[in-house]
Structure 1
Amino acid sequence: MVDIASRVWNHKWKIDPIVRSLIDTDFYKLLMCQSVFRNKPETQVTFSLINRSKHIPLADLIDEGELREQLDHIRSLSLSRGESTWLRGNTFYGKRQMFRPDFMEWFEGLRLPPYHLERKGDQYELTFEGSWPEVMLWEIPALAVLMELRSRAVLDRMGRFELQVLYARGMTRVWEKIEALREVPDLSIADFGTRRRHSFLWQDWCVQAMQEGLGDAFTGTSNCKIAMSREVEAIGTNAHELPMVYAALAKDDAALAQAPYDVLQDWHDEHEGNLRIILPDTYGTKGFLDNAPDWLAGWTGIRVDSGDPAVAAQTAIDWWKSRGEDPSEKRVIFSDGLDVAKIKELHQQFAGKVKASFGWGTLLTNDFRGLVPDDALAPFSLVCKAVKANGSPTVKLSDNPNKAMGPQSEIDRYKRVFGVGDQAAQKVIV
């Protein structure tokens, strides 16, 4: 097992680059990329870094030259033969050849497009522009780089023994969480922690700890690189990016109202009925389900990623019942800011009502809260989102208004079109 503290103490970035592979990314990103490659390959998008935690002065903490080195390194990466073989030949969700030959040929020749980086006060402006299938693959590595460089800035001030103690305490915390989760009967939980992880080595350690500590209750990881190397399932379906871009491309209000369902129709066609998990909260869960076509009720389940998770799950249960479906046969994946107490609470609340699963993210792979002075390693909310599509702004409403994004005039329009009324604000943890 890697001695992480010693690697941190001795590391040179060329030995431990933050992102070491194009598949050091979330599985859903590759699934979405294939769908975009097939359905919207000419769409031009802009992605932008958004630091929701303004109190974290990233430009003061992170050296611009080092940031550019890491981003330039990512642009030099391409698929290895082994990675290509894994993607082409592995079975994902019971399906062989999940990735089509035409997509794989394109992906094997890909280098990520240029980036634009500029300091603005104590923050960085980091944007990516170009064709949607290429630009979208910047999101996860860009976030991983910023998160880990911030961690390294804090760790660089620490001595060798201090680092050993820090990681011993961090490992103890993770293991105690795993021990607590062993008490949960019929648990189903996966690692969703790539984008805001402490580091690649730390995420890899957490996955190994979950494998040993939870056994069959641990269903896999969203990280393709780690899934391949640790021989666990790659987990993921789709994200808010798809409806956000489809909606931005809509020509009028009627097309806008239809856009989230067009996404899922294309998804259904792409995957021939597999991976049928709905992410309904981009423009409000209740309105999405109320207006959903009947064929969506037959899908496998939903993912809950904003607002009050219990309310969202109950809304889905009521919807399934109203459409003649048995909720106890449906999958509900909770994935928003989870930690052990909330996982146990939701599992107990919905046991027997639905098949509950959990995507455990930042508070698995980046929980060093309270372990260094001034809480300088506490996780924070950093995202990289599509902000324009063919020149039009994107919008996200969410079930939590604190996660909304887009020009206010467009937010107001989307609220009108999707019938979103008053919303209860929730604290954004990550």
Structure 2
Amino acid sequence: MDIATRVYNHKWKIDPIIRSLIDTDFYKLLMCQSVFRNKPETEVTFSLINRSTSVPLAHLIDEGELREQLDHIRSLSLSRGESTWLRGNTFYGKRQMFRSDFMEWFENLRLPAYHLERVGDQYELTFEGKWHEVMLWEISALAVLMELRSRAVLNDMGRFELQVLYARAMTRVWEKIERLRQIDGLSIADFGTRRRHGFLWQDWCVQAMREGLGDAFTGTSNCLIAMRREVEAIGTNAHELPMVYSALAADDTALAQAPYEVLSDWHDEHDGNLRIILPDTYGTQGFLDHAPDWLAGWTGIRIDSGDPAAGAEVAIKWWQDRGEDPQDKRVIFSDGLDVEKITELHGQFAGRTKVSFGWGTLLTNDFRGLVPGDGLAPFSLVCKAISANGKPTVKLSDNPEKAMGPAKEIDRYKRVFGVGDQLAIKVVV
């Protein structure tokens, strides 16, 4: 596949950025089924949030083209082949992961309407409706904005200039893979859908990882690529679940229990390697200190904010204190990773626990320094649930730079969850 030619041809025709409803992260579909089952009447609002305000998306991206891409997504539905794959494939060793009632609903789904407005140099993009319908906009919206920004920067480049650019980017990825080859016992997956340079580029990166790393490459979070390339679909759950469950809590007592209610519902539906705790939504230490005993029996923990080494040490001590052997558990690192950090963390924790990595933006969108002005450097764009049944959601994180929600509610959540001083870490991606 000649990526440079395909990118060059974007100048003459719209190439749909989102090609399928399963061009999304696997955990989105797992969470969607859980929400469909447990919270089908919950109304939510999702909103685009550009943490990197220095990137003027509304100045770079034409509103008409953005609407055209979003409208195209609303026309999509599952193909017969996609439905067959979801219904019949084995995921995490389990056949029929997706129940018939959920699949019947999903096969008839069209994504709900969106609201788009330009506010200064940024876009205000929101989605409102039933939680299990609206949540599927998140990854698609992020991928569209990221790729349209890439196209805007590349728009004036000629065919040969694009070929050289992609040759350099491919060389960079391959050099990273060669360095990762040196890590004995590496376990790594592609987590790069939400902030990728583009679909074709993510697909190329997955193929490069598969060839270059062999069995050390465990799969991709992207369902469409997993299906087409016949690799494992990887993913469990995300902050969205405790954020919405917590917003629905009637009082402080219910709020304190909401993150565990989420995992209780998950426990009823999944086992094995799908029982991965994401503890940092309201602070890892407090979450683990008050966690019910049955959670210690889960398979592992994903660390997605704060100092990753400190988070892993907290998890290991927690397992030891609960009578569990950390060597039988899995720690998945997934925040802002690149080769240097992967190498460091693997060296620090291999042998003490099972170590895995979800490699995201700096796999699928590392074009830093490859164009004048560094206009393709990755930036921090998110799409989050900001309210549930009219009540605001809150995320505290282990990094206060990632906190979100009204200030009054953030203070309340810090009090309820006992979150004290936190170390601020610059958010790059």
TM-score band, normalised by shorter chain: over 0.9
- Structure 1 distance, partners of 2:131, 2:305, is 25
- CA 1:273–1:181 in structure 2 vs 1: closer, same or farther (change >3 Å)? closer
- CA 1:245–1:13 in structure 2 vs 1: closer, same or farther (change >3 Å)? farther
User: Match for 1:400: what amino acid?
Assistant: N
- Structure 1 distance, partners of 2:362, 2:272, is 32
Aligned-pair CA distance for 1:15: 6.1
- Structure 1 distance, partners of 2:13, 2:88, is 30
Match of residue 356 from structure 1 = 355
**Does 2:44 align with 1:76?**
no
CA contact under 8 A between 1:268 and 1:274: conserved in structure 2? no
Moved more, 386-395 or 262-271: 262-271
Count of residue pairs the alignment pairs up: 429
Match of residue 296 from structure 2 = 297
**Does 2:243 align with 1:244?**
yes
**Does 2:149 align with 1:166?**
no
SS at match of 1:158: coil
Question: 5 Å matches for 1:217-296?
Answer: 217-271=216-270, 275-296=274-295
- Structure 2 distance, partners of 1:243, 1:30, is 16
- Structure 1 distance, partners of 2:258, 2:227, is 34
Match of residue 200 from structure 2 = 201
Aligned-pair CA distance for 1:429: 1.5
Q: Deviations over 1:321-342 (max 9, x none)?
A: 0000000110000000000000
User: Match for 2:358: what amino acid?
Assistant: G
- Structure 2 distance, partners of 1:403, 1:207, is 28
SS at match of 2:219: strand
Question: 5 Å matches for 1:41-190?
Answer: 41-190=40-189
CA RMSD of aligned residues (A): 0.9
Question: 5 Å matches for 1:27-38?
Answer: 27-38=26-37
- Structure 1 distance, partners of 2:318, 2:416, is 21
Aligned-pair CA distance for 1:375: 0.3
Q: Deviations over 1:43-100 (max 9, x none)?
A: 0000000000000000000000000000000000000000000000000000000000
- CA 1:212–1:112 in structure 2 vs 1: closer, same or farther (change >3 Å)? same
Aligned-pair CA distance for 1:384: 0.1
User: Match for 1:58: what amino acid?
Assistant: L
Aligned-pair CA distance for 1:160: 1.2
Aligned-pair CA distance for 1:12: 6.0
SS at match of 1:41: coil
Aligned-pair CA distance for 1:272: 5.1
Aligned-pair CA distance for 1:159: 1.3
CA contact under 8 A between 1:330 and 1:354: conserved in structure 2? yes
- CA 1:219–1:272 in structure 2 vs 1: closer, same or farther (change >3 Å)? closer
CA contact under 8 A between 1:190 and 1:358: conserved in structure 2? yes
- Structure 1 distance, partners of 2:280, 2:140, is 24
Q: Deviations over 1:5-27 (max 9, x none)?
A: 01111136866210000000000
Unmatched 5+ stretches in structure 2: none
Unmatched 5+ stretches in structure 1: none
User: Match for 1:52: what amino acid?
Assistant: R
TM-score normalised per structure 1 = 0.99
**Does 2:333 align with 1:311?**
no
- Structure 2 distance, partners of 1:398, 1:10, is 41
- Structure 2 distance, partners of 1:273, 1:224, is 20
SS at match of 1:144: helix
- CA 1:15–1:117 in structure 2 vs 1: closer, same or farther (change >3 Å)? closer
Q: Deviations over 1:251-280 (max 9, x none)?
A: 000000000000000001122566100000
CA contact under 8 A between 1:28 and 1:239: conserved in structure 2? yes
**Does 2:342 align with 1:343?**
yes
CA contact under 8 A between 2:275 and 2:299: conserved in structure 1? yes
- CA 1:152–1:91 in structure 2 vs 1: closer, same or farther (change >3 Å)? same
CA contact under 8 A between 1:303 and 1:333: conserved in structure 2? yes
Match of residue 384 from structure 1 = 383
- Structure 2 distance, partners of 1:115, 1:246, is 23
Q: Deviations over 1:118-137 (max 9, x none)?
A: 00000000000000000000
- Structure 2 distance, partners of 1:69, 1:210, is 33
SS at match of 1:129: strand
CA contact under 8 A between 2:380 and 2:428: conserved in structure 1? yes
User: Match for 2:35: what amino acid?
Assistant: V
SS at match of 2:218: strand
- Structure 2 distance, partners of 1:13, 1:211, is 33
CA contact under 8 A between 1:222 and 1:236: conserved in structure 2? yes
User: Match for 1:373: what amino acid?
Assistant: P
- Structure 1 distance, partners of 2:419, 2:270, is 30
- Structure 1 distance, partners of 2:186, 2:14, is 37
CA contact under 8 A between 2:11 and 2:155: conserved in structure 1? no
- Structure 2 distance, partners of 1:191, 1:371, is 22
- Structure 2 distance, partners of 1:3, 1:86, is 28
- Structure 2 distance, partners of 1:272, 1:51, is 35
Aligned-pair CA distance for 1:161: 1.0
User: Match for 2:310: what amino acid?
Assistant: V
- Structure 1 distance, partners of 2:409, 2:177, is 43
Match of residue 428 from structure 1 = 427
Moved more, 333-342 or 6-15: 6-15
SS at match of 2:324: coil
SS at match of 1:11: helix
User: Match for 2:135: what amino acid?
Assistant: M
- CA 1:310–1:105 in structure 2 vs 1: closer, same or farther (change >3 Å)? same
